[in-house]
Structure 1
Amino acid sequence: MRTADTLTGDHPNVTFLPLSVVLRRWGDAGVDAGPFQYGLAILRPRYAALGLPRLLPLDRVLYGIQSTAPGAFGGFHHPNQGYRHLQMRPLITTYGPMGTGFPEPSELVALDLLRAYAHDCLHYGSYRSYRLRGDEVVRTQYGVNFRRHDGRTYSAPDLAGSPTTRNLGVVMEGACDREARRITREAARQHGVQQWAGIDRSAYRDVTGLLDRADVEALAQPEICDAVSPSPAAAAFLGSNGRYQASVNARYATFLDEIGRDEADDLHDVVLTAMISGQLSALSAWLRERRGPKAFESLFLSPVYFGPIGPAT
């Protein structure tokens, strides 16, 4: 699975190339990839300090540069993309209309790429353990989350509409994206990138972590998405943007404020370090000192996790 291409068949209309090849092509064509390069300079020492000295190799990143599907629109919220842990390979698509194969506006494309790459580096670097169940490979630990052989995870799904989270999957996804968007925001500042209008405004606010409740409410209205979108696929992209912000990033931010309070940034760093190492001791101790004995279990443990083994759900 890690030596063969088992992913791009899910996207028959998209042309994928290794990211290293794309970046060389951009350089030859004069495409401004400066924000991405600024971001690399920021994330390397930051991730090393968190315990991740080796980044996701560029050759393993499959980057979709063009699509033959009518009205195709790419970017972080393109359907069925992201990091695949068994293959240790992410799929990323170029932000914006994908008909020409040429990025426009190039600075925003580079920022969207940086956000996706910084995000997937953390997925790539998070601790994982696997066991065989017959012929099936089962991931039993990912970061600070655990899964039993029958499919039960350590924490239960959040209730629909919850403003916060107690689900470890959401916590880790939110931690990855909070960090990636912080790096992207700083790269945009250093490169002097300004906000755009229309659909690009929402994309810029998304990749730099500036989306707020008003943005989410607007993106939940199809007529508003349609008004600024060049195609139905672009409108769907905007809708997905709003849902992801509401269900992942906003919930994680609320979780940090609830549990971390004035130490929210410190808690975020402790979560990331634990994800990369796979060790719960520092995170459990941090929570225990502030919320009492067995704080990790009381916050996250599902009551059915240690119940009798039943069929996978």
Structure 2
Amino acid sequence: MTFSLLHWVLDTWADEPAREVFRQGATLLASRYRQLGLNQLLPIDRVWVGVRSTRPDAFGGFHHPNQGYRHLQLASVITRYGRLSDPRLASPELVALDLLRSYAHDCLHWGSFREYRLQEGRVVRSRYGINRRDPQGRTYSARDKDDAVSTRNLGIVMEGATDREARTIAATVADRLGLTELIAPPGRLAFRDTTGRLEPSDFDDADPGVAGRFRLAMAGYEHGVGMRYRQFLAETGGAEAGTLHGLIVAAMIGGDLSGLTGWLDRRHGARAFPRIFRSPAYAGPDPGE
């Protein structure tokens, strides 16, 4: 895999509409994240983009395996959408929109609250966003069951909230610029995925080959994160699901859960946060303790 820095990738694009996708998206996400308490974005010279591969089966984009934000290195590793063995862009606007989603997504990972402790000579991350680990390393909430349709796992909640923000930004830019869904798969599916418009029926038909593996990864992420998070918001937030989502993201960034826990207590009774999320195996403090 050959990598380039994100700002180098953008500077080499000759396609002006694609550049405009990222320009408008960067302006929009800066404003949105500032409202939520994040005043500095992940520097684009900390974002590495996989642009070419010698493997004929390499297919890049948001769902490429083993990519994402690296906490230790304070950097993001992503790939451009499409066949990485082909230097041509399948659709410049779609490539730009997918990179925008990945960047917006990793900006929130980079900007989320973190707390570390020294334990037996090792540095251990004890808090991340609204999640935490006890001294034995056990996370606050248990894993969801494989067939779960909703979530009570804080890791999935934070990942779902992060990607909801990224997809909303991508969808807003696509609507502003009049980008339409691409007819041919997998571009059509990738557009719907990037803008948060997937439906269960989108995964009904088999799609063999290189793009098919990307599609399977997309389906796994949607079922395991996107759909579960939407269902959680509907169950827990009801008509105020949007408010609940905003409180979750703000708490992730600032590390102060009082607004979120207070909102949950008023609607679901005292100590709602631990009743909803806490695993019996967890032996550490609750938020606010």
TM-score normalised per structure 1: 0.87
**Superposition pairs of residues 153-172 of structure 1, within 5 angstroms:** 153-172=139-158
**Of 250, 254, 257, which residue of structure 1 is paired with 2:231?**
254
1:179 matched to 2:165? The reply is yes
Select between 176-185 and 132-141 the one with higher mean Cα deviation.
132-141
What letter is aligned with 2:60? G
Contact 1:96-1:104 within 8 A present in 2 as well: yes
Aligned residue in 1 for 2:13: 26
Separation in 2, partners of 1:151, 1:236: 34
1:269 matched to 2:246? The reply is yes
Separation in 1, partners of 2:68, 2:195: 18
Question: Aligned in 2, Cα 1:262/1:64: closer, same or farther, shift over 3 Å?
Answer: same
| 1:201-229: CA deviation from partner (whole Å, max 9, x where unpaired) | 1100000000112124x2xx6xx121xxx
What letter is aligned with 1:277? G
1:16 matched to 2:34? The reply is no
Separation in 1, partners of 2:112, 2:88: 33
1:91 matched to 2:77? The reply is yes
| 1:206-264: CA deviation from partner (whole Å, max 9, x where unpaired) | 00000112124x2xx6xx121xxxxx332111001001001100000000000000000
1:101 matched to 2:87? The reply is yes
Separation in 2, partners of 1:174, 1:213: 17
Secondary structure class of the residue paired with 1:122: helix
**Of 62, 75, 81, which residue of structure 1 is paired with 2:61?**
75
Deviation at 1:31, TM superposition (A): 7.2
**Of 186, 198, 201, which residue of structure 1 is paired with 2:185?**
198
Aligned residue in 1 for 2:197: 210
Separation in 2, partners of 1:213, 1:192: 25
| 1:41-90: CA deviation from partner (whole Å, max 9, x where unpaired) | 21111100000010010000011111111121100000100111111111
Deviation at 1:30, TM superposition (A): 5.5
Separation in 1, partners of 2:216, 2:136: 33
Separation in 1, partners of 2:146, 2:86: 39
Separation in 2, partners of 1:135, 1:21: 40
Question: Aligned in 2, Cα 1:133/1:102: closer, same or farther, shift over 3 Å?
Answer: farther
Aligned residue in 2 for 1:45: 31
5+ unaligned residues in a row in structure 1: which ranges?
1-13, 227-231, 308-313
**Of 132, 145, 148, which residue of structure 1 is paired with 2:118?**
132
5+ unaligned residues in a row in structure 2: which ranges?
285-289
Secondary structure class of the residue paired with 1:152: coil
Deviation at 1:38, TM superposition (A): 1.5
What letter is aligned with 1:201? R
Deviating beyond 3 angstroms after TM superposition, the runs of 4 or more aligned structure 1 residues are: none
| 1:133-178: CA deviation from partner (whole Å, max 9, x where unpaired) | 3343211000000012432100000011111000000000000001
Separation in 1, partners of 2:136, 2:2: 37
**Superposition pairs of residues 113-132 of structure 1, within 5 angstroms:** 113-132=99-118
Separation in 1, partners of 2:223, 2:279: 23
Aligned-residue sequence identity (percent) comes to 49
TM-score normalised per structure 2: 0.94
Deviation at 1:92, TM superposition (A): 0.6
| 1:109-133: CA deviation from partner (whole Å, max 9, x where unpaired) | 0010011011110101000011223
What letter is aligned with 1:235? G
Aligned residue in 2 for 1:311: none
Aligned length: 283
Contact 1:175-1:272 within 8 A present in 2 as well: yes
Separation in 2, partners of 1:280, 1:180: 22
Separation in 2, partners of 1:300, 1:32: 41
Aligned residue in 1 for 2:260: 283
Deviation at 1:32, TM superposition (A): 2.4
1:237 matched to 2:224? The reply is no
Secondary structure class of the residue paired with 1:131: strand
